[in-house]
Chains A and B, each alone.
Chain A
Amino acid sequence: MSEQEARFLATVQAEQRIEPRDWMPDGYRATLIRQIAQHAHSEIIGMQPEGEWIAKAPSLRRKAILLAKVQDEAGHGLYLYAATETLGVDRAELTEKLISGRQKYSSIFNYPTLSYADVGVIGWLVDGAAICNQVPLCRTSYGPYARAMVRVCKEESFHQRQGYELLMTMMRGTQAQRDMVQDAVNRWWWPSLMMFGPPDSASSNTEQSMVWRIKRHTNDELRQKYVDMSVPQAKALGVTFPDPELRWNDERGQHDFGQPDWDDFWRVVKGGGPCNEQRIAHRKAAHEDGAWVREAAQAYAEKRNRQAGAA
């Protein structure tokens, strides 16, 4: 091990932060770029499933809450892309990789939103799972990522609360609304468990990322935490999770639960989910339709710079 590498490892293992100008192993940089870009892409693609409901929101208060939430997601994407830029890549390059399918985003966004209850369930379960994944990242070893995550987590927590409050309200409404909520929970429960990634026995990146203090908990630890957190919330809400194996285990002091369909997980990751094509096509169209606007802004800025230089 080189002296630089030894110093790097000592720094991360002492829970100190690596900053953009510090030396870092190439693998650490590449892992971070991959992970942060995937996270940024997820925020941006994640605008779509809920964004579809902004125009149709059933009250003006819900419209305002949802529009503000989707706006926050764009904001999260922006500061995560900014974090990747400290590692020597740029947003345009990452966007190209997203729309050409060379970089991934969270598979959860490849499922459709079929009713307004989905907006609430995404807030409660999907944002809830994201929070479980992301709170430990507030202490991740790379400084710019950790700092971005502090703000992201605060806002995600707000979104989770709002989603849950929508569901609480719907459960107090008509039977048709209660049925919508249970149906949405049935559809999103298993995909939300998949958000923690494959079981530890099949996760290729976990070990190295834990040594580098990028990750702090394994996929299975976080999944357990999420299940234990969600069960009492479901009870308070008056819904059930579609898992016959789900029960409290007194010995472990945790819930036992069934495994998601991992074959389905890999199928969706590889592009076979119900909305993969639609999500990428939407992002690609927005990016391409806006090219003339970005070019104009660039040309205008260059003209202004030339005029300032000539003056």
Chain B
Amino acid sequence: MNDSVYDGLSEEHADDARWAYGTGFHDELSGVDRDIPSGVDGADLGLYCQMLGDDALVLAQRLAEWCSRAPELEEDVALANIGLDLLGQARLLLTRAGEVDGTGRSEDDFAYLRPADQFRNLLLVELDCGPGPGGDFAVTMARLLVFSSFRLSLLYRLQSTVDPVIAAVAAKGVKELAYHRDHAAQWVLRLGDGTAESHRRMQAAVDRIWPYLDELYAPHPVVARLIEVDAAVDPADVRAEVEDTLHRVLRAATLSIPSPHRESGELSGRDGRHTPELAEVLGTMQELARSLPGAVW
């Protein structure tokens, strides 16, 4: 038998070259300056990295819930792909957070050892939007459209932040987010202007998601201090651009535009005041890592 692929596999394992590919991820930010920029407070910068990183991490976790449950195989592939992009951004940002805040925490320390009230993500990303009784594909796409439109505008501006690591993550991320936004927008159009049932579900989805929009643009003292030193972007500055995109998509999808306000205002994701849905997500995510102290993965 001349089947070299598996002949090679039976040899020694110390040599990576015997396998078809390596197993690691190459360092995407090699060569980027990792010093804290002068005039920037490391603790503030660390919290900002957690905000941006947690948004990506929690949404990646939510999107991965669709894996093997999507309406089409193409969608299993697409949602996993979007989840992987966001997970990649989260890993770089959380690593940066531990590097600049003086604690030396790793990406996994942030992901697995913080309780819910130390997560800094927007409420939008923690909501249970399905699959299952918590939502459906329409809610998932409504959230993805909102989130990707917002994050694309944010990352576009963050390419010129004084922090070279965030700038590098942003430069890579804008290409990814442009695809995520396009993918979500196409589905909102298809579902909004598809059948009577899909229109009804898409409108209900938008109605459910829109009240979480105001929070995207809310001011925060940490972000305000970083804006002063050109290390962060004011989310209020992207509002007009994001809403223009969202409204154009909704109108083309024959959907009406709901109010972006929520009645109850005591929750604030950026301050660690979350819905119970975050604790549920984290319970699943952190269970195994916490159950085997000292284990290496």
Residues of chain A whose beta carbon lies under 8 Å from any beta carbon of chain B: 44, 47-48, 51, 54-65, 67-68, 70-71, 74-75, 77-78, 81, 116, 128, 131-132, 135-136, 153-154, 157-158, 160-162, 164-166, 168-170, 172-174, 176-177, 217, 221, 225, 228-230, 232-233, 236, 282-283, 285-286, 289-300, 303
- Chain A residues near B195: list those with CB within 8 A: 292, 295-296, 299
- B64 contact from A55, A131, A164, A172, Cβ within 8 A: A55
Please tell me the number of chain B residues within 8 Å of chain A, measured between CB atoms: 64
- Chain A residues near B240: list those with CB within 8 A: none
| Interface SS of chain B | helix
B295 adjacent to A173 (CB under 8 Å): yes
Q: How far is the CA of A172 from the CA of B277 in the complex (A)?
A: 36
18 contacts between A and B (CB under 8 A): A44-B73, A57-B288, A153-B5, A157-B20, A157-B21, A158-B21, A170-B297, A177-B295, A177-B296, A225-B1, A229-B10, A233-B13, A289-B71, A289-B131, A293-B191, A293-B198, A300-B190, A303-B193
- Chain B residues near A164: list those with CB within 8 A: 13
| Interface SS of chain A | helix
Quick check: is B171 within 8 A (CB to CB) of the other chain?
Answer: no
Residue of B nearest to A154 (CB): B20
Q: Indicate whether A78 sits within 8 Å of B288 (C-beta atoms), given known contacts A47-B68, A51-B67, A225-B1.
A: no
B72 adjacent to A290 (CB under 8 Å): yes
Interface string of B59-76 (1 = CB under 8 A from A): 001001101111111111
Quick check: is B12 within 8 A (CB to CB) of the other chain?
Answer: yes
B64 adjacent to A286 (CB under 8 Å): no
Q: How far is the CA of A162 from the CA of B10 in the complex (A)?
A: 15
Which of B86-94, B117-125, B155-163, B230-238 lies on the face that meets chain A?
A: B86-94
9 A-B pairs with the lowest CB-CB distances in the bound complex, closest first = A290-B71, A296-B194, A296-B198, A71-B80, A293-B71, A157-B20, A229-B10, A161-B19, A173-B296
Q: How far is the CA of A58 from the CA of B284 in the complex (A)?
A: 11
Quick check: is B55 within 8 A (CB to CB) of the other chain?
Answer: no
- Chain B residues near A166: list those with CB within 8 A: 297
- Min CB distance, B62 to chain A, in Å? 10
Q: How far is the CA of A271 from the CA of B72 in the complex (A)?
A: 25
Total number of residue pairs linking A and B with CB closer than 8 Å: 203
B21 adjacent to A54 (CB under 8 Å): no
Residue of A nearest to B285 (CB): A55
Q: Indicate whether A172 sits within 8 Å of B83 (C-beta atoms), given known contacts A157-B20, A286-B69.
A: no
B19 adjacent to A157 (CB under 8 Å): yes
Residue of A nearest to B3 (CB): A135
Q: How far is the CA of A303 from the CA of B195 in the complex (A)?
A: 10
A300 adjacent to B87 (CB under 8 Å): no
- B288 contact from A56, A74, A131, Cβ within 8 A: A56
CB within 8 Å of A: which B80-105 residues: 80-81, 83-84, 87-88, 90-91, 94
B73 adjacent to A295 (CB under 8 Å): no
B198 adjacent to A295 (CB under 8 Å): yes
- Chain A residues near B43: list those with CB within 8 A: none
